[in-house]
Structure 1
Amino acid sequence: MNDLRRKVNDLNIRKQDLKLKKGEEIRCRKVVKSEVENWFEKVRSINVEMEKIETKFSVVSYFSRAGLGKLVSRKIGEVERIYQQGSFPEGVAVDGPPASGVTFPTTDLEGQIDVKGRIWEYLMDNEVGMIGICGMGGIGKTTIMKHINNQLLKENQFDAVIWVTVSREFDVVRLQEDLARALDYSLPKNKLEWPTVLMEILERKRYVLILDDVWEPFALLDVGIPEPSSHNGSKLVITSRSIEVCNSMGCKVFKLQPLSPAASLNLFLCQVGDNVQQDPTLKELANLIVDQCGGLPLAIVTIASSMKGVEDAFEWRNALSELRERVTSVKGSDTTIFEQLKFSYDRLKDSKIQNCFLYCSLYPEDHHIESEELIENWIDEELIDELENRHAMHDRGHTILNKLVNNCLLEKVMIDGVNRGVKMHDVVRDMALSVKRGDHFMVKAGTQLEEIPNEHKWKESLEKVSLMNNSISKVPPISPKCHNLSTLLLQENHNLEKILGSFFEHMHGLKVLNLSRTGISYLPSSISNLKNLTALILRRCHQLRYMPSLAKLTALRKLDLFHTKIEEVPHGMEMLENLTYLNLYARDLNDLPMGMLSRLSNLQVMKAWLNIKGEEVAKLRKLEILLGAFSDVQDFEGYAKSILGQGPTKYWLGVGSPKSSYFGKHPWFNNLEDVEVDKEVCFINYKIWNEEFVLLPKDIKTLTIESCQNIKSLSNFSLFCEANELKTCAISWCEDVECVIDLSLSWCNSLRNVEVLSLRSLRNLQELVREVTAVASTSHSPTPPAIFSSLKKFHLVGCSSIKELFAVRLLQGFQNLEYVEVKHCKKLEKIIAEEEGENQKVEKRDSETTYAFPKLSTLHLIKLPELKSICCSGFRIPGESLRYLSIINCSKLRKIPFSIPLLETGQPSPLSLEYGYVHPRKWWKLVEFDDPNAKDVLSPLVLDYSSEEDEV
């Protein structure tokens, strides 16, 4: 019976562990496996049977125990089997259904509320499975459907609301991929299986599928879309400019009509601002301008945005004349709206801003364009005036971007409430391309091209060619005579492996060439003759090993070789004295030849995976962004000394050996160039000799020290006391570190501004602050309490020697501390410890409660086997800010110091704890609390946590 009891107890402990995991998975939108639920049922049955056995055991006679013993023996075997079945090495849950849909930002539906209501009635009608919303471009089809999409999500009547933008260049494979992405599902490798797989997924749901901007009919079965019916309760909605498309797909058609004159005027006045409504003359002119918009919301909003802030009646009358002249001189609905939209384009007036707008049409239709990428491209195209520095040029770029958004020529892309870039409305993009109609632009971006357009399509008058985001695999032996071509965009053609030399032979005017994310392994030698080239962009060409001579490309301002396979600096690079942007972040690249950098005096941005020389890079006085590594501290200090007060505005400086395996495998360096850097210095695998002091830049914001030898404390870093902008400090795997600050060596004001302090795997760490010993008079000694006055987050992990963490004298310096994590410190006894000479103050503090860490919201104390106390006598931690709590495997901890505030009624205030974990539960039941209310308030909020989990 004792054996059985132990086995059942072990089984129930495993059950508790799995219940915790189950709860976490459910909170992560996962579904618990049926086999796990069955296992829980088996455990429940065992517990019921165990109660019966215990009852029999208590009453059975001595002579009947043999029979009961056989039953107990069988049950021991059964419990062991069930225990083994409960291991579930592949987890207790599987991915649940994806989020029900995406909520879109929307604008007011001026004059279209009734229209939305009628479409909604169609959706709710059980007899209607497929609905087609048609109307000319710019009439509001997408806007109305975004409102309906959001309402469907809010009312939650369907399992999923799926939105896919189809666009003009229809492709079944791309539609299937977009549909799978919207369903959060990975398709198998065999594309022949895709329709079946998608069909099976969708048939398990009651869904609304919205296909926006459909240009041609297609068979639903070819894609894998089951036909909606009253039986399955699902709906399909398509929006299209063509009523024929809607009819041919068997939709119930709803044709959108232009806005009424009254609704059109209201929409215009809402966009243009209050000043027009208050001026009768301007309001009358606004009414006449609205008449020219034909009730099209896109035209109304765009034109109104371009007139915002204009108060001169003469300018309004002139705008009306221009608009009338445009609209009366054209025929056809598409052409009419193009001219209406072009009015707003013309009102930009600045030709460079207009060209910035036109550049956006080179991207694929409905493409999400990252803001920083777009501004960099504008700089490459010389569409932004050359200002005194690159930062000012980016500011100018954002100003232009805002102007285009405010004039409704571009739309913001919002993801999770954050602005992630912009995109062009497809009608606005068509208008932009119509501005360059003729032979100036050739744009076939994202059109599933598998071959380069024929040579006869490469007209002499071409200025820009965009073939990005296609499936082009080779460039045939053609030599287009495009002397005026300035921009050629071939990026994102992943299968493109070879470009024949003759292709560039007659492109002498080429300025921007982008081959990023292609499969090319070498560039043809004819690249060397493109003397007007200003930007050569080869990002993530992972197979690129060979570069021809760049000696003649003296106009080159940007060279980007990020994540290429080149092993040598390109020949002739020292001749590129006009370079402002250089990215040599290539893992296999050798060192820069001595003296090369000093010739590149115009560099503003330099990113390199090289051993750079401090004195050379210090001569680059125009440098604004620097990512680089120094193999020894002398080179680093040489650079740090030379840039005092006039260094780059952003930098990441590594000190160590970037060619060592340690550097190569470290996760920070995998995508270093893509990391958002500010001003960071990182010492890794470096040894300080002879008690030397390391010089740091004064404006450093992040200091990382990892696997370095001979460093005793941060006091090894001279000028550290002047680094007043330091915000983050991390020290890891440094065996010689004994304290963070040694006041006998230096006094560090800089730590007053540190907000994050992380200490990990410091085996010999004894204390945070080592104070000056044998001080004759405390009036002359430095006052340490405010050293950490800005600290918000503190991590102490795997520091096996430290016994006491925060000294009482330092506590007033931790008033802003919000997050404390202490893990795997096997000798730590006290979190807040009394110092020598403090004992006489204990009696006073016992009568006057002092509060430590008043802003603490997170406390994790995990696997601290010797921890005896969190606070010393007279101290408590206020509980009202506490959100997250973990106390796991701290078996010697006997008292919890949380203080719970009282309501006016005298009852303890409820806490806002979002999660709390303790382990083991039996320890929690025995532990004492300084505040008698704390245990009653906390106990219902905390869960027992498996001791295995804290190893993660």
Structure 2
Amino acid sequence: MEFVEPILEAIKCLGYPTSRYIDHHRKLEENMNDLRRRVAEVNTRKQDLELRKEAEIRCRKVVKKEVENWFEDVLRVNTEMEKIETKFRVVSYFSRARLGKLVCQKIEEVDRIYQKGSFPEGVAVEGPPPIGVTLPTTNLEGEMDVKEQIWEYLMGDEVGMIGVGGMGGIGKTAIMKHINNQLLKQKLFDAVIWVTVSREFNAEKLQGDIACALDYCLPKNKLEWPTVLMEILETKRYVLILDDVWEQFSLLDVGIPEPTLHNGSKLIITSRLIEVCNSMGCKVLKVQPLSLMASLKLFLHQVGDGILQDPALKEIVTLIVEQCGGLPLAIVTIGSSMKGVNDTCEWKNALNELNERVKSVKGLDTKIFEHLKFSYDRLKDSKIQNCFLYCSLYPEDYHIEKEELIEKWIDEELIDELETRQAMHDRGHSILNKLVNNCLLEGVMIDGVKLKEGVKMHDVVRDMALSIKIGCDQFMVKAGVQLEEIPTEHKWKENLEKVSLMDNLISKVSQISPKCHNLSTLFLQKNHILGEISESLFDHMNGLKVLDLSHTIILDLPNSISNLENLVSLRLRHCFNLRYVCSLAKLKALRKLDLFNTAIKEVPHGIEMLTNLTYLDLYSRHLKELPIGILSSFPNLQYSKTWLNIKGEEVAKPRKLEILLGLFCEVQDLEGYAKSLSGQGPTKYWLGVGSPKFGYFDNHTWFRDVEDVEVDKEVCFINCEIGNEDLVLLPNDVRTLTVQHCQNLKNLSNVSLFHEANALKTCTISWCEGIECVVDLALSSCNSLQNIEVLSLRDLLNLLELVRGVAVVSTSNTPTLPAIFSSLKKMHLIGCSSIKKLFPVQLLQGFQNLEYIEISRCEKLEKIIAEEEEENQKVEERGPKTTVFILPKLQTLHLINLPELKSICGSGVMIPAESLQYLSIINCSKLKKIPFSIPLLETGQPSRPPLEYGYVHPREWWKSVEFDDPNAKDVLSPIVLDSLEEAED
């Protein structure tokens, strides 16, 4: 009888050849391994395409629809692969053939998807060509005549090339920024192109900047660039603004067509040198110094008008302003440095210092340097002055990220060592604010993966800073000047303290051995083609403290670095080819070791000797093992980042740890860590638990740049078993909880560790197929959810309801309300394809703080707010029907791709629109009624809600949909329809 069932099973499968059935049965393991390999190949291609996609988006291109569809196919395959893996783990003997057939079919499908993912013609298409970039501006004082003259030439036909000349700090760039923005606003030209040229002219860089501004990619052959650029520009009527030009160059050699009456284009050059403007054939306009009246007005704008209330100061202030010589930069900088000074003696002293400086110098540049140095000297604190001078190590016009700069200051010991790293960062921000407030630095925003705060130096201020240090041979700065070779040995002076060769085109450091025993800082970062550094470079740099080789392609670290016993900071970030790091055993002074995104396969030899380490980043996808006990070797550690499996008790030993990012293999390791904490733990942490798939961390912006870390006490369960364990201890201050790919999780009520997480503010659950409800009140009240402010539910394919087991008193108008979600402000429900009804009406009093609702791709969702009486159809007689108002603080409502949505809420329930700012209702064709209530003014007329935008689709649906409040449609339609038309344009 034991052979009967296999025979019957074989008979059932006679629909396809018996031999194939046997193959599917016997080769299941082999085919599963083949499928895993092919899925891994698809995911590797996906990672490569994602990088290409991000690069194209940064170039303002639009990703092709076929590419987006391909990403969705890969996402679907990964989901189906997880189901197959689950079936494979529990497959019975008699089901192997059926599963084997499915595996073979999936192999063929994955092959087709892989082939489709080549996209030889690229992943994106050109978006609408940009006209230009709006630039930040300051108020113009007394420079309006020149601005108006420039504008007249731009609008006329007689002048095609305009030269704006004048000494540094006179206001040339400020005027042109206003011109740039006015041109963009009036849209009189096809393109307005702004390029900062700076002192070190480089034709290739200029060509690349112009092409980038026009959103074009130049060919690989640089010999073709002038021709290609000429062809591009000749198709447009443009204004090209070249700011800060220092020498004459050939327009033809660069590829810039000479502006003529025929092509209608214009070229504007700003330069400190009038002869450069003349030699380029420009109509020259010279920016004159401000008049005394305009100078005084600008000065008082910085220092405050109240200073003139003291008659004794009026004359002194006027004399100081006269000393500024009508230079806006000097006026602004000196005025800012005197802000808050009310003592007459201090003002007299300032006037005397300025008099002595100006009398003792000759030459225009030197004169303004002395004006600016006055503000530098008034900083008084030598460490703050050195923080300022340090910024001159960066290239001209470089935007420096604030957090990166503060980290460098900490490395250089320019910030006093305080008790915590956070305290030092706070001190750094205080210094930055002082420098910005004194107009020695300018605040900027840096647009990258995300918008970040930064600072930059005005080129004249940088020149002044360098004049202080270069004059005594303490700095050698050749940053961002397109160097292809390292400076020869005789240019390395013995007195050098800091050398910056960053952001160049150096590919190799030759056999030189500079005798620079006082050198403390060497910048070689962002030489993106630097692949080799000679052993001899560091032979006579025994005083070196800071070495930055980040963003290079070096394969090996020179062994001579092993002897740099005074080294404090070694930065090797994004050296993605770096495989070998020399022994670090002698570097006992080292406080920072940054090996983020390198290719090392093992931790450097001697790392356990670095007992002074305060900062350690060991993230490398090739690093397989972290030696046991290694983290406990660093008692002073403040920052730790590693994605190897760590042990809980070990990582809790560094008591000074403030920022921790790491991965535990088991839930028990997390519990061990939480138990081992005595008192205060890290102020920021991201703790993963489980087994993330390959490349998981690469998709998080947190892991791309250390300064981007925004973690706020987060625990993330990834592909692990939770839901059935005994009480698990979490860090008691966890604020964010993320659960991903935990298939056995049924609901949060099953997870004991949720119950005591009283500081929890954000909860995200995604790709957990076992979840049918978020909270089951029959099991637990889940009290920790009372404090949650953000709840995100994503791709929970079997989710049926938010809360199960809501108690209802059907004979009363006041239902029994469980105390959950009372603090909720944001709700995301995305890709939950089984849920039909979201909120029971009985819970709505708990949603009084809800401000944001986003529901998308929930194919079966019919009702957002469902009344229990509608479900039971058993409602006792009630009194006269009254209108119930819900969600009083709702500001954002996004309903997108909900094909079965019929109702937002039941009859008699209204949502006040008085706070509504953002509205999207897209592809919800079965929705027949919208329950918005429009408040009335004292006049009885409906008021307009503060709606900033409203998108609806299709337009015909919007025209046919009904509103519970008859005023709502009339009030909202003009706003929504205008936004729709704008989107279509």
Residue 818, structure 1, aligned to residue 851, structure 2: yes
**What secondary structure is seen at the aligned counterpart in 2 of 1:628?**
strand
> In structure 1, how many angstroms separate the alpha carbons of the residues matched to 2:293 and 2:975?
58
Maintained 8 Å contact 2:647/2:669: yes
1:361 to 392, 398, 408: 392
Residue 789, structure 1, aligned to residue 822, structure 2: yes
2:923 to 864, 873, 888: 888
Cα deviation for residue 355 of structure 1 reads: 0.4
Residue 654, structure 1, aligned to residue 654, structure 2: no
2:525 alignment partner in structure 1: 491
> In structure 1, how many angstroms separate the alpha carbons of the residues matched to 2:705 and 2:304?
46
CA gap 1:236/1:844 in 2 versus in 1, 3 angstroms: farther
> In structure 2, how many angstroms separate the alpha carbons of the residues matched to 1:152 and 1:391?
44
CA deviation vs aligned residue, 1:358-404 (integer Å, no higher than 9, x gap): 10110111111111111111111100000111111111111111111
2:468 alignment partner in structure 1: 435
Maintained 8 Å contact 2:60/2:215: no
Cα deviation for residue 846 of structure 1 reads: 6.4
> In structure 2, how many angstroms separate the alpha carbons of the residues matched to 1:285 and 1:938?
60
What is the root-mean-square deviation in Å for CA atoms of aligned residues?
A: 3.5
Question: Could you tell me which amino acid in structure 2 is paired with residue 710 of structure 1?
Answer: N
Question: Could you tell me which amino acid in structure 1 is paired with residue 129 of structure 2?
Answer: P
Cα deviation for residue 413 of structure 1 reads: 1.6
> In structure 2, how many angstroms separate the alpha carbons of the residues matched to 1:422 and 1:846?
65
> In structure 1, how many angstroms separate the alpha carbons of the residues matched to 2:586 and 2:877?
83
Cα deviation for residue 300 of structure 1 reads: 2.0
In the TM superposition, what are the counterparts of 1:443-842 in structure 2 within 5 Å? 443-643=477-677, 646-658=680-692, 660-661=693-694, 663=696, 671=704, 673=706, 674-688=708-722, 690-718=724-752, 720-771=754-805, 784-825=817-858, 828-835=861-868
> In structure 1, how many angstroms separate the alpha carbons of the residues matched to 2:311 and 2:610?
61
Matched residues, percent identical?
71
CA deviation vs aligned residue, 1:800-828 (integer Å, no higher than 9, x gap): 44443211210111123333344454554
CA gap 1:760/1:114 in 2 versus in 1, 3 angstroms: closer
2:177 alignment partner in structure 1: 146
1:226 to 232, 235, 257: 257
TM-score by length of 2: 0.81
Cα deviation for residue 459 of structure 1 reads: 1.5
Maintained 8 Å contact 1:135/1:242: yes
Cα deviation for residue 316 of structure 1 reads: 2.0
2:136 alignment partner in structure 1: 104
Maintained 8 Å contact 1:729/1:756: yes
In the TM superposition, what are the counterparts of 1:849-928 in structure 2 within 5 Å? 849-861=883-895, 867=901, 869-879=903-913, 883-886=918-921, 888=923, 891=926, 896-899=930-933, 912=947, 914-917=949-952
> In structure 1, how many angstroms separate the alpha carbons of the residues matched to 2:694 and 2:127?
37
CA deviation vs aligned residue, 1:121-168 (integer Å, no higher than 9, x gap): 333332111111112212222122222223333343333322111000
Cα deviation for residue 916 of structure 1 reads: 4.4
> In structure 2, how many angstroms separate the alpha carbons of the residues matched to 1:668 and 1:292?
50
> In structure 2, how many angstroms separate the alpha carbons of the residues matched to 1:346 and 1:158?
46
In the TM superposition, what are the counterparts of 1:7-22 in structure 2 within 5 Å? none
Q: Where do 5+ consecutive residues of structure 1 fail to align?
A: 1-27, 34-88, 947-952
> In structure 1, how many angstroms separate the alpha carbons of the residues matched to 2:537 and 2:312?
60
Cα deviation for residue 874 of structure 1 reads: 2.7
Residue 424, structure 1, aligned to residue 457, structure 2: yes
CA gap 1:670/1:263 in 2 versus in 1, 3 angstroms: closer
Maintained 8 Å contact 2:689/2:720: yes
**For structure 1, which segment, 907-916 or 850-859, has the greater mean C-alpha deviation from structure 2 after superposition?**
907-916
**What secondary structure is seen at the aligned counterpart in 2 of 1:854?**
coil
**What secondary structure is seen at the aligned counterpart in 2 of 1:847?**
coil
2:156 alignment partner in structure 1: 125
> In structure 1, how many angstroms separate the alpha carbons of the residues matched to 2:60 and 2:410?
44
**What secondary structure is seen at the aligned counterpart in 1 of 2:240?**
strand
Cα deviation for residue 489 of structure 1 reads: 0.4
CA gap 1:353/1:233 in 2 versus in 1, 3 angstroms: same
> In structure 1, how many angstroms separate the alpha carbons of the residues matched to 2:194 and 2:797?
54
Question: Could you tell me which amino acid in structure 1 is paired with residue 315 of structure 2?
Answer: E
CA deviation vs aligned residue, 1:6-53 (integer Å, no higher than 9, x gap): xxxxxxxxxxxxxxxxxxxxxx9999x9xxxxxxxxxxxxxxxxxxxx
Maintained 8 Å contact 1:591/1:612: no
1:70 alignment partner in structure 2: none
CA deviation vs aligned residue, 1:443-493 (integer Å, no higher than 9, x gap): 111111111111111121110000001111111111111110000000011
Maintained 8 Å contact 2:494/2:518: yes
> In structure 1, how many angstroms separate the alpha carbons of the residues matched to 2:369 and 2:969?
70
CA deviation vs aligned residue, 1:602-660 (integer Å, no higher than 9, x gap): 011111121111111111111111111111111111112333761111111111125x4
> In structure 1, how many angstroms separate the alpha carbons of the residues matched to 2:428 and 2:735?
26
Maintained 8 Å contact 1:845/1:875: no
TM-score by length of 1: 0.83
The number of residue pairs the alignment matches comes to 856
Question: Could you tell me which amino acid in structure 1 is paired with residue 251 of structure 2?
Answer: L
2:405 to 371, 374, 378: 374
> In structure 2, how many angstroms separate the alpha carbons of the residues matched to 1:92 and 1:575?
50
Cα deviation for residue 574 of structure 1 reads: 0.6
CA gap 1:374/1:180 in 2 versus in 1, 3 angstroms: same
1:61 alignment partner in structure 2: none
**For structure 1, which segment, 764-773 or 902-911, has the greater mean C-alpha deviation from structure 2 after superposition?**
902-911
**What secondary structure is seen at the aligned counterpart in 1 of 2:296?**
helix
**What secondary structure is seen at the aligned counterpart in 2 of 1:638?**
helix
Maintained 8 Å contact 1:696/1:719: yes
> In structure 2, how many angstroms separate the alpha carbons of the residues matched to 1:261 and 1:925?
63
Maintained 8 Å contact 1:695/1:718: no
Maintained 8 Å contact 1:275/1:311: no
CA deviation vs aligned residue, 1:233-268 (integer Å, no higher than 9, x gap): 222111111111111100111222323333333332
> In structure 2, how many angstroms separate the alpha carbons of the residues matched to 1:229 and 1:878?
60
1:50 alignment partner in structure 2: none
**What secondary structure is seen at the aligned counterpart in 1 of 2:554?**
coil
CA deviation vs aligned residue, 1:734-770 (integer Å, no higher than 9, x gap): 1222322233444334323323212223344343223
